[in-house]
């Protein structure tokens, strides 16, 4: 019989390297296969399954392959058919699909009926996860649940279940907002309050399946006996409860192949447990470990830089990703004045691209995509959205702005007034508003409110300002109106108060306002603005479900995992976004953020662009520490030496003749810096100073400048 690998090479032109061949032939017992980005793991997985069938004479029905997503399951099913067209199909499925089959069988056995409340299905559900959580949120907090809080709450509950945290500890777990643990417990109680009937969400399938396999030995044997070999893909993103299900299924034979890359574990926030991989030999003492380190995807520059970058993480298996690919040009790093300039740069670069399907724009937060959607749609550049952000258009901040505008069409509408008056920083109470709404007064709502409710002088002054603003609004363009709402009606101040009260990130909220301003700047009337938002919402849906031909990809870093592109723009690489402020407070979170950045870098095959900006929302911004780490890796030896010398110079004693007070500095002043030489002060912020040295502007710590007296004033 012709050698298996030679035959498949002749049939499919697939040539495996030595490590891939070892992974294919290591069939019995537990195997941890660590696969670096672009190392051909899917091909290796399919070849391994084919080897089991053709060389080990294993019945395809006795092989179970567990994938991370339905798309992966379909892709592997298709590849297996192409690689081994004469064999019966192998069972490829997601862990949720497998868990549902186990749960359904177990509940039938125990006589318990159930109803799914997540994921839709045929007909309308009497109860959904969303409606139930919103109801319980309002009962607990006496506030309507925003989309942000709903997402946070749902993710929190999923985390609790996937990490198998006992019910009695739920209220002690760090939560996204006050009483989230209590709401989660109430949610579970409501779902199981009817004896003999359960309401189930997706995570319940996992929990019940694991419990069934653990407590009912006879039942567990029914599923164990189905498969002789199990394989799990993308296992770095598998949660504890999912690992436990697999453990139960391989308990007798131990024939388990776990394919993973701990350097690409980016889902701990929803329960993934990368530490499980590091402790793999504690669970499976006889496990073999293989490393697939050859990258076939990316250029030499990208592979070497990314491989060096990820070594900053300590909680990882040591790997040495490498490639035989040629050089394709240096990694590009650019810093722009603000997000608008960054957007302009990317847009003009895209206009020169012929093959847009080979290009991707990657970002940390989905909210970053809306301005790009607006600009791409306006210029007719086709795009595909990996995970469409249609929630932006339903965000309460967007709705607030539209309500402010709606009121200008008829300032006698008390119903709309009631939606915005609490968001003008007027410091009025709900009792005041209720009293006004219950009166029969009519006319201009601001004037009527002053006449109806007892107010302080400062409140009356602000309401008089509102009257004046609403007189001017009809003659203004939408972008001017939004700025009046932000500043003259003090909506932005009200947002800051709400963010402090409910734990929202104010930068995200202000970013939404900036995005709305950008969209508004391109239309002439409020009606056009509202229609433009609807048009963009439809464009986003179109981009996700029916994208045009030759479309570039817009994606978060998370959703880009598993994809590859000739050219990748990684945008908004500033401190506070990646890593986030929360990431900076915890070593484990920081390592995960670095892994996320690494995932973004390794999507690029030939051209990688790392892009940041100096200012946003009127505040100066610092480059991401990850951007600086990459910059340090790429720095030439002589440049590193110069940097070290600068640090030595900075460690000397303060110059007694140098400037020591902030008041002695002014914009436009000509100064001499001890290290950088002659310059001109461009700006002075709370924490930093911007100085132009020749063609380059540097942003320096103001505290460092003053404490070490690094500047002297000089003549022109």
Rounded CA Rg of the chain: 30
pLDDT at 123 over 70: no
Please provide residue 218's backbone torsions phi and psi, each rounded to the nearest 5 degrees: -65, -40
Give the model's pLDDT for residue 643. 54
Domain presence at residue 674: yes
Q: How confident is the model at residue 215 (pLDDT cuts 50, 70, 90)?
A: very high
Whether the Cβ atoms of residue 210 and residue 184 lie closer than 8 Å to each other: no
Do residues 407 and 496 share a domain? yes
Residue that terminates a domain, selected from 576, 599, 630: 630
Q: Does residue 257 form part of some domain?
A: yes
Instruction: Using alpha carbons, select from 142, 204, 147 the residue that is nearest to residue 178.
Output: 142
- Are both 398 and 468 inside the same structural domain? yes
One domain, residues 400 and 458: yes
Q: Which pLDDT value is given to residue 270?
A: 74
Same domain for 552 and 452? no
Same domain, 90 and 25: yes
Confidence of residue 217 (pLDDT cuts 50, 70, 90): very high
Last residue of a domain, one of 292, 319, 341: 292
- Tally the C-alpha atoms within 13 A of residue 2's C-alpha that lie toward its C-beta: 7
Peptide bond between residue 350 and the one before it cis (omega within 30 degrees of 0)? no
**Given this model, what pLDDT does residue 637 score?**
64
Average pLDDT over the chain, rounded to an integer: 89
- Are 373 and 412 contained in the same domain? no
Confidence check: pLDDT of 20 > 90: yes
Q: 400 and 364, same structural domain? A: no
pLDDT band, residue 653 (cuts 50/70/90)? low
395: pLDDT strictly greater than 90: no
Total domains present in the chain: 4
pLDDT for 658 equals: 85
403 and 527 share one domain: yes
Residue 295 has pLDDT above 80, yes or no: yes
Q: Tokens representing 273? A: 């447990």
In a domain, 559, yes or no: yes
State pLDDT tens for residues 560-609: 988 999 999 999 999 988 998 888 888 889 999 999 999 999 999 999 99
Q: Smallest Cα–Cα separation from 63: which of 260, 249, 248, 251? A: 249
- Classify residue 158: in a domain, yes or no: no
Confidence of residue 30 (pLDDT cuts 50, 70, 90): very high
**pLDDT tens digits for 79-119?**
999 999 999 999 999 999 999 999 999 999 999 999 999 87
* pLDDT confidence of residue 606: 97
The answer to pTM > 0.85 is no
Strand arrangement, sheet containing 256-260: 91-94, 63-67, 229-232, 256-260, 31-35, 288-292
In a domain, 27, yes or no: yes
Work out the pLDDT band at 120, boundaries 50, 70, 90: low
Based on the fold, state whether residues 93 and 240 are members of the same structural domain: yes
Does residue 44 surpass a pLDDT of 80? yes
* Tens-digit pLDDT profile for residues 153-165: 999 999 999 999 9
**Over residues 465-479, mean pLDDT:** 91
Q: Of 2-6, 34-38, 343-347, where does mean pLDDT reach its minimum?
A: 2-6
Residues 518-563: tens digit of each pLDDT: 899 889 999 999 999 999 988 888 888 888 899 999 999 998 988 9
User: What are the start-end ranges of the H helices in 84-119?
Assistant: 95-110
The CATH number that applies at residue 67 is 3.40.50.300
Residue 644 lies in a domain: no
Determine, yes or no, domain membership for 230.
yes
Are 374 and 408 part of one and the same domain?
no
What's the CATH code of the domain at 659? Answer: 2.40.10
Dig out the tokens for 209 from the structure: 């399946």
Range of the domain at 476: 394-531
Q: Are residues 553 and 525 in the same domain?
A: no
- For residue 178, which of 147, 152, 155, 201 has the smallest C-alpha distance? 152
Q: What is the pLDDT of residues 233-271, one digit of tens each?
A: 989 988 999 999 999 999 999 999 999 999 999 988 778
**CA dist., res. 591 & res. 584, Å (int):** 10
Q: What pLDDT is attached to residue 365?
A: 80
Q: Where are the alpha helices (DSSP H) in 473-606?
A: 478-483, 491-502, 506-520, 526-545, 557-560, 587-601
Task: Based on the fold, state whether residues 76 and 214 are members of the same structural domain.
Answer: yes
Q: Strands 229-232 and 565-570, how do they pair?
A: unpaired
Domain of residue 469, CATH code = 1.10.486.10
Give the sign of the dihedral formed by CA 540, CA 532, CA 355, CA 599: negative
Confidence at 455, pLDDT banded by 50, 70, 90: confident
Q: Which segments of 574-654 are extended strands (E)? A: 604-613, 615-616, 619-620
pLDDT at 652: 46
- Does residue 458 lie within any of the structural domains? yes
Last residue of a domain, one of 506, 531, 556: 531
Arithmetic mean of pLDDT, 319-331: 94
């Amino acid at each position: 019989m012709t050698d298996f690998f030679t035959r498949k090479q002749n049939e499919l032109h697939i040539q495996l390297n030595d490590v891939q061949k070892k992974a294919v032939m290591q069939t019995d017992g537990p195997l941890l296969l660590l696969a670096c980005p672009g190392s051909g793991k899917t091909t290796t997985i399919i070849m391994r399954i084919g080897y089991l069938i053709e060389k080990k004479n294993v019945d395809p029905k006795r092989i179970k392959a567990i994938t991370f997503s339905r798309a992966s399951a379909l892709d592997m099913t298709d590849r297996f058919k192409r690689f081994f067209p004469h064999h019966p199909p192998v069972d490829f499925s997601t862990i949720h699909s497998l868990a549902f089959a186990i749960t359904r069988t177990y509940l039938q056995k125990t006589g318990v009926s159930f109803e799914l409340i997540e994921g839709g299905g045929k007909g309308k559900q009497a109860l959904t996860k969303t409606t139930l959580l919103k109801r319980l949120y309002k009962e607990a907090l006496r506030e309507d649940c925003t989309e942000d809080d709903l997402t946070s709450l749902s993710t929190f509950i999923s985390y609790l279940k996937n990490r198998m945290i006992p019910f009695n500890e739920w209220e002690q777990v760090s939560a996204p907002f006050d009483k989230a643990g209590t709401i989660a417990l109430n949610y579970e109680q409501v779902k199981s309050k009817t004896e003999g009937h359960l309401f189930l969400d997706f995570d319940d399938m996992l929990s019940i399946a694991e419990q069934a396999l653990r407590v009912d030995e006879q039942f567990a044997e029914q599923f164990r006996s189905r498969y002789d070999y199990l394989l799990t893909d993308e296992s770095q993103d598998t949660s504890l409860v999912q690992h436990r299900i697999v453990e139960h299924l391989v308990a007798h034979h131990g024939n388990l192949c776990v394919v993973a890359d701990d350097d690409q574990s980016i889902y701990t926030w929803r329960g993934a447990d990368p530490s499980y991989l590091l402790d793999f030999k504690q669970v499976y003492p006889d496990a073999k470990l293989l490393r697939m380190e050859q990258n076939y995807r990316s250029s030499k520059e990208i592979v070497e830089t990314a491989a060096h970058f990820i070594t900053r993480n300590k909680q990882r298996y040591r790997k040495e990703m490498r490639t035989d690919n040629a050089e394709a040009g240096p990694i590009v790093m650019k810093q722009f004045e603000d997000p608008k300039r960054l957007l302009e740069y990317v847009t003009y670069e895209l206009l020169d691209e012929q093959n847009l399907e080979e290009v991707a724009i990657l970002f940390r937060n989905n909210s970053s995509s809306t301005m790009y959607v607006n600009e791409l749609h306006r210029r007719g550049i086709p795009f595909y959205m990996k995970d469409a952000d249609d929630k932006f258009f339903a965000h309460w901040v967007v709705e607030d702005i539209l309500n402010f505008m709606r009121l200008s069409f008829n300032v006698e509408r008390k119903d709309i007034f009631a939606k915005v008056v609490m968001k003008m920083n007027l410091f009025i109470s709900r009792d005041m508003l209720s009293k006004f709404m219950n009166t029969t007064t009519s006319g201009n709502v601001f004037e009527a409110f002053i006449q109806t409710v007892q107010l302080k002088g400062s409140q009356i002054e602000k309401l008089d300002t509102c009257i004046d603003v609403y007189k001017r609004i009809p003659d203004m363009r939408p972008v001017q109106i939004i700025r009046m709402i932000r500043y003259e009606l003090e909506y932005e101040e009200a947002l800051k108060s709400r963010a402090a009260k409910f734990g929202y990130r104010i930068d995200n909220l202000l970013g939404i306002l900036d995005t709305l301003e950008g969209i508004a700047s391109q239309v002439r009337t409020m009606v056009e603005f509202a229609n433009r938002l609807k048009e963009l919402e439809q464009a986003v849906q179109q981009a996700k479900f029916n994208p045009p031909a030759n479309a570039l990809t817009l994606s978060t870093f998370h959703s880009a995992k598993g994809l590859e592109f000739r050219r990748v723009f990684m945008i908004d690489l500033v401190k506070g976004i990646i890593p986030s402020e929360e990431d900076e407070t915890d070593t484990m979170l920081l390592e995960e953020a670095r892994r996320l950045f690494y995932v973004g870098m390794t999507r690029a095959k030939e051209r990688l662009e790392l892009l940041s900006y100096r200012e946003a929302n009127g505040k100066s911004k610092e480059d991401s520490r990850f951007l600086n780490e990459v910059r340090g890796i790429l720095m030439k030896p002589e440049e590193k030496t110069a940097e070290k010398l600068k640090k030595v110079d900075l460690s000397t004693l303060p110059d007694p003749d140098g400037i020591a007070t902030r008041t002695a500095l002014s914009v436009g002043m000509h100064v001499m810096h001890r290290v950088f030489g002659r310059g001109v002060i461009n700006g002075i912020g709370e924490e930093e100073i911007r100085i132009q040295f020749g063609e380059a502007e540097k942003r320096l710590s103001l505290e460092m400048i003053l404490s070490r007296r690094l500047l002297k004033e000089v003549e022109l």
